[in-house]
Structure formats: structure tokens, C-alpha cells
Structure 1
Amino acid sequence: MSTLDAHSASPWWTPSVHADRRPILLARNRIEAGVRNYLAQNDFLIVDPPGLQRSPGNEIHLHAFGTTMIGNDGLGQVMYLHTSPEFTMKKLLAAGEQRIASLQHVWRNRERSALHHPEFTMLEWYRVGEPYDAVIADCVALLRLAAETTGVKSFNFRDRSCDPFAEPERLCVVDAFERHAGIRLLDTMDSDGVTDGEALAQQMLALGLAVPEDRSWSYLFSLILNEKVEPELGNGRVTVLDRYPAAEAALARRVPGDARISERFELYACGVELANGFGELTDASEQRRRFAAEMDEKQRIYDERYPLDEDFLAALALMPEASGVALGFDRLVMLATGAPRIEAVLWAPVAE
């Protein structure tokens, strides 16, 4: 048992607990300083989007914190703490900014575990006119920077290790599902990317995998990804899980020549997802259609939906081609310091 685990029953502000946590927190500050220096050296402008939004995001499984904004007239309007600064940052791209980044708190409800916290720090950045290979390269550079800052040769989490200095593995989602789960994803969608949940369920049954009552394609995809694929990623070296099915990439543009696949990637080390990035979708009508479909499914599963950000959809008409990515800064600090859970790298965790 680590010292941090041994003290976990005591409040974080207990002097002895803080003394044990402090070296990691100071390392966090050094990593943050290194990240900000990297962004400055690569001509990123640091921006500061507001956390309070009319729409917190429109993805099925992201849950927001709601509140009420009361005007001078005493009337209230429902508002949300954002789950990502994405909508605001893309409006800034529409306004004419070329290379921007933010490092700030975001909020996600229904999330708490060794790797999840309801309030956490997200590093998000965009490059106008550049392919998403460019932000993948940024991600790899930042992982190495974090390791160099703390002086570690490898990242370790639970029983897994990963060399951040080794050449990353680049693996498309279709190949990852076949390799690690025996699932042929392309057989479960048509040429336009429309998915067939029953076809996916039948493949799972043929492999002896348990199939839940909910046989929607998206739910089964997430189940297989979480249970069979993700544990195999980022072991020994970083994995770039690339080319997601279009049905699982509401904010990404499709791969030219194949409507089934999108320009979306996720970055893994030690089985831990660190970053999620896109070749950004700029077609407002297509984005509206995808958001509406996401909210319909959210209504079906969770009996709730969030409004669309009409300003964001209007801004897409002016937004240039770009690539972007969001990286969980706290998770990066965890891996670079060997911390056992996310609370260990937060200066002041949210009370349970």
C-alpha cells in the first residue's frame, strides 16, 4: 500500500497527508509550467473560455452540472458548467484565431473513480489549416515533456507500464476490435456508416461474449471498447487509437472516400485514455443532424437532453479547417508521478 493510500481515510488538508501529497503537487506545477512553455514556443495563444454555457455539449454519455443564471429582472435561465471549452474555442477560430489553447477546469457529472473526478483540468488546443497528425505529434511531445520533467523513464499505472519515449503504436479502431476482441466492425455498418446493433450483438454471441438487454450499436461498441480493447492499449509504448467509426465521432469530419470512418483519435498509455482529438467537422447542417441524433439517444437512455448552442452552429459557417484535441492534464500528471488515483494530483479534491 502506498503512503497516499494509507492516508486516504484522512482529509486532504490534514498536515501529514498534505506533506505526503506535496511533492506530487509541486511536480504538477512544474509539468504545467513546461506545458505552457511548449505552447508558447509553438505560437499558441492561451485563451480563457467561460465555464458557464447555454449548452454544456451534446454527446450522449457526457453529463453536466446545471444551474440557474438570474438576471437583473429576477428571472432565471437554465445554464450549465461546460464539459469542455470546445464550443467557445471553435467560435474563436471562426473569429479569426489560428492557433489557440486553454488549460482550465471543466465539469462532468456522474464521474468519480481512480481516473475520474467531477471537476478536473483539461488541456485543449487547435491548429487551423493543419491535419490532425499535427495535434497527435503535440500529444506525444507533451507526454515526453511530462516524463522528462519528473525524470521517469516509463509511466506506470497499476500493473501496466509504458515507455513514452518509444515510437507510438498507431492502430485504427477497426483493426483494434478485430485484434483484441475478434469483432469485425465494418460488417456491422453500411457504406454510409449507418450501424446495425443486432449484427454486432450476433458477433458477440458467436464469440461467447455476454450481450446486455440494450443492443444499441453505440452501447455495444462502448462495452467492447471498455472491456476488451482499452486494457490492451498503451502497454509498453503509447497507442494512438485512430480512425473511429463515424457513428462514434459526432464532432469529427469523415475520412475522404469512406463515410464509415472519421478523423478521430484517442491516445492511451498504460491502458489509460489521455487525449481525444479530431479533424474538426465544419459542416453546420451535418453537425446539427448529429447533435440531434445524440440528444435523441441521450433522451432514450437517460431521459434528459441538453439544448443546442445555436451560436456555435452559426459560427461553424465561418470556421476554417482545423484539427483539435483535449488532453486530461490530471491523468498525465498521474502517470508522470506514479500517483495511484486522480485525487492524489489535485491540490484540493472535491468533497465526496
Structure 2
Amino acid sequence: MSRSSWHPDSLGERLPALRRRAALLRDTRAFWEARACIEVETPALVPVPGMEVHLRGFASRFEPHLGRGAGRDVWLRTSPELAIKRLLAGGVGSCFEVARVWRNGEVSPRHAPEFTMLEVYRVGLPMAGLMDEVEDYLRAVLPARAAHDGATTDLSLPFERLPVAEAFRRHANGLDILATVDPRSAEGDGVALHRAARDAGLDAPDGLSWEDLFFHLMLTHVEPHLGRARGTFLTHWPAPQAALARRDPADPRAALRFEVFAAGLELGNAFDELTDPVEQRERFLRDVAERKRLYGNAPGSAWDVDEDFLAALARGMPATSGIALGFDRLAMLAAGVPDLDAVRWLGGWPYA
């Protein structure tokens, strides 16, 4: 029978890594505060948990004390993003939050249903500038040689900045991913992507949507090459994967979004933030419709557009770039441990 994670022997084994996590938290606050970012705290219980189509949330219900007023459904947030952007619209300026977040069903050595996310927003800084700062941050808080699962990244080397289109050309037999995106609608053409993949000699299972096939090809052919000997910024994602990022004025088939990889791990996801409330509403409505099509009213999957967030965008959010980093993954690399449980104070409880 395995020991509980609170058992003195179990906790004692993890204490060196947990102390390293605590140091990482101190160093993180010092780094961003030195760049004139204020630390904020936003609610964990929210009316809309996030807008990502494929995430499942944890639902609850607020009931007023002694029946004073109507109750309402609430959620544990999947990210603090929508809340922090309200503050940006209100004029808070550059800021960061170390936030506890929840995503139902995610369990693996690299995933947990409850985890810590570091979100940083830099007002007036374009995407390239945010990449500079993230590179400096990772170099400041992680070992010079970050290692995980057989991959070792020398963080003293300049990070590669690799557009998704170039990554597909390089690692997916020359496939032109942007040729399968409509520049007017920003939608992906699944038939065109199936044809392009097969013409490139790649496996393209029947019945997959553009998005599903994109991620099948990404995970199979591209991601295994990222963040190995040196760090990688995977930039300029196809427009159907824009999420809350602006489209690239130079090529509307792409979005101003990047992910950062080191030691073979995806560590963070960043946007040059979309500030247009009309376009954001259109995207949210598509997301709600797609979630309903895929999951119906399944528990943890049904919620509507966040109207208050759109009202904040309409009020006016400044030009901003922002990133969400998995703090637990950073702690894994900082402590040199193989999985999230080693840097969680109570290990896998209550999900293990």
C-alpha cells in the first residue's frame, strides 16, 4: 500500500523539490516586480470559467445566506485570463498573477485537475518584446541546463523563434499549413489539409476536422523537435488557433500567438491580445456553438459567452501582450524532478 503524500517519509522525500518551488515563487515575484508589474488577485469562482472549446470545468452553485436573493451557477476558473483583462481595461497597467486554476479530467505526469498558473500581461509591449522578457525570465529562474525526460536544453543559448508554417515545412515533409486556411474567414479547410498531408506522405486519418488533424500532425511531427538543445518560441499560429490573439496584419491566415518550449516541455502560451470586442464576440459565439456541437450539455462543458468581459473590451483595453505559464512545470524543471506530484505539497491528493 502506497504512503499518503502527507506521511513524514513521503513529504520528507519531496521537501528539497518543494523548497526549490518556494524559491522559484520568490524569484518569479522579484523578476516581474522589477519590471514594474503589479501582482493582482482575481476571483477563483466565476460566472464563466474560460472560453476554450475543449476544456471541462468544475461547476458549483452560489446560494445566498438564509435565502436572501436568487442563487446562481458558478465555476472554478480554468484561467484568470478573462478576469485580469477586465483589470487591464480598467487601467491597472502591466501586471501578473500566480493563480490556482482547475481543469476537469486532466491527469498525467504533466497535467493535474488543479494546478498553478503564472499569467503576465505587459501593456504596450508587442509580442517580440514579450518573447525577450520570457527568455530572460526562464534564464533567471531555471538551471542553466534544464532537463526533463531525456531532453536537455541549454538556456544560455538564444531561443529559436520558429513560425508554425516553417515548423511544418521543416518537420512535416514540406506541408504548407497556411495554404489550408481561408484568409477572409480565418477558418481551416479540412479537405485541403487532408489532401496536403497525404500529398506529403503523412498519416491523415479520415473523419478528422481541420483542427483535429492539425493537432494530430503537430503532436506527431512537430512538437517532438521543439525545445530540445535550445529553447523554442513557436510563433504565428494558424488563424483558426488564434483564440484571444490578434491576427497578423501582414498575413491574416496567421495569428500573433506563440508557445514556448524547453526541455521538450510546452511551458507557456502567449498572445498579442485581441482588443476588438466585435471580433472577440464572433469568436466566442463560434466557440460556444462548437462546444455545444461536440459535448451538448455534458456536465462541465456548457456555458455561455462572458458578456461582462466583452463589455470591458468595449470600454477599451490597451494594446497588450500576455502569457500563461504552467508554474508547476517550471517547478519541475527548477527542481529537476520527473512529474508534477514531486512539486505539489500534497502530491496527487485527492486525484491519485
TM range (shorter): over 0.9
In structure 1, the residue matched to 2:350 is 351
- One-letter amino acid of the structure 1 residue matched with residue 149 of structure 2: R
Cα displacement string for residues 301-351 of structure 1 (whole angstroms, at most 9, x for unaligned residues): 222432111110010021111111111111011112211111111112331
The correspondence for 1:79, drawn from 74, 83, 86, is: 74
RMSD: 1.6
| 2:261 match: secondary structure | strand
| 1:298 match: secondary structure | helix
In structure 1, the residue matched to 2:284 is 291
| 1:135 match: secondary structure | helix
Distance (Å, rounded) in 2 between the aligned partners of 1:61 and 1:173: 21
In structure 1, the residue matched to 2:148 is 157
Distance (Å, rounded) in 2 between the aligned partners of 1:46 and 1:341: 28
In structure 1, the residue matched to 2:230 is 237
In structure 1, the residue matched to 2:6 is 13
In structure 1, the residue matched to 2:83 is 88
Post-superposition offset of 1:213: 4.3
Q: Is 1:174 matched up with 2:165?
A: yes
Post-superposition offset of 1:194: 2.5
- One-letter amino acid of the structure 2 residue matched with residue 185 of structure 1: I
Post-superposition offset of 1:259: 1.2
Post-superposition offset of 1:288: 0.7
Post-superposition offset of 1:270: 1.9
- 8 Å CA contact retained: 1:54, 1:307: no
Post-superposition offset of 1:205: 2.8
Q: Structure 2 length as normaliser, TM-score?
A: 0.93
Cα displacement string for residues 155-201 of structure 1 (whole angstroms, at most 9, x for unaligned residues): 11111111112100000001111211122102212232331011111
- 8 Å CA contact retained: 2:37, 2:94: yes
Q: Is 1:65 matched up with 2:64?
A: no
Equivalent pairs, count:
341
Post-superposition offset of 1:208: 4.2
- 8 Å CA contact retained: 1:296, 1:305: no
- 8 Å CA contact retained: 1:173, 1:241: yes
Cα displacement string for residues 1-58 of structure 1 (whole angstroms, at most 9, x for unaligned residues): xxxxxxx943211211111100000011011101111122111111000011111111
- 8 Å CA contact retained: 2:228, 2:264: yes
Q: Is 1:110 matched up with 2:105?
A: yes
Q: Is 1:190 matched up with 2:178?
A: no
- One-letter amino acid of the structure 1 residue matched with residue 276 of structure 2: D
Distance (Å, rounded) in 2 between the aligned partners of 1:212 and 1:10: 43
- One-letter amino acid of the structure 1 residue matched with residue 91 of structure 2: G
Q: How does 1:225-264 map to 2 (within 5 A)?
A: 225-264=218-257
The correspondence for 1:282, drawn from 268, 275, 280, is: 275
- One-letter amino acid of the structure 1 residue matched with residue 328 of structure 2: D
- 8 Å CA contact retained: 2:233, 2:261: yes
Distance (Å, rounded) in 2 between the aligned partners of 1:278 and 1:320: 14
Distance (Å, rounded) in 1 between the aligned partners of 2:4 and 2:199: 49
Distance (Å, rounded) in 2 between the aligned partners of 1:194 and 1:315: 26
- 8 Å CA contact retained: 1:242, 1:266: yes
- 8 Å CA contact retained: 2:21, 2:334: no
In terms of mean alpha carbon deviation, does 262-271 or 72-81 score higher? 72-81
Q: Structure 1 length as normaliser, TM-score?
A: 0.93
In structure 1, the residue matched to 2:42 is 49
Q: Is 1:221 matched up with 2:214?
A: yes
Q: Is 1:313 matched up with 2:304?
A: no
| 2:328 match: secondary structure | helix
Post-superposition offset of 1:133: 1.9
- Point out where structure 1 has 5 or more consecutive residues left out of the alignment: 1-7
The correspondence for 1:99, drawn from 77, 84, 94, is: 94
- Point out where structure 2 has 5 or more consecutive residues left out of the alignment: none
Q: Is 1:199 matched up with 2:192?
A: yes
Cα displacement string for residues 125-166 of structure 1 (whole angstroms, at most 9, x for unaligned residues): 11111112222222112211222xxxx331111111111121
Q: Is 1:39 matched up with 2:37?
A: no
Q: Is 1:145 matched up with 2:136?
A: no
% identical equivalent positions: 41
Structure 1 stretches of 4+ moved >4 Å: none
Post-superposition offset of 1:206: 3.3
Cα displacement string for residues 207-230 of structure 1 (whole angstroms, at most 9, x for unaligned residues): 443333432111111111122211
In terms of mean alpha carbon deviation, does 170-179 or 292-301 score higher? 292-301
- One-letter amino acid of the structure 1 residue matched with residue 224 of structure 2: P
In structure 2, the residue matched to 1:300 is 293
Distance (Å, rounded) in 2 between the aligned partners of 1:66 and 1:16: 35
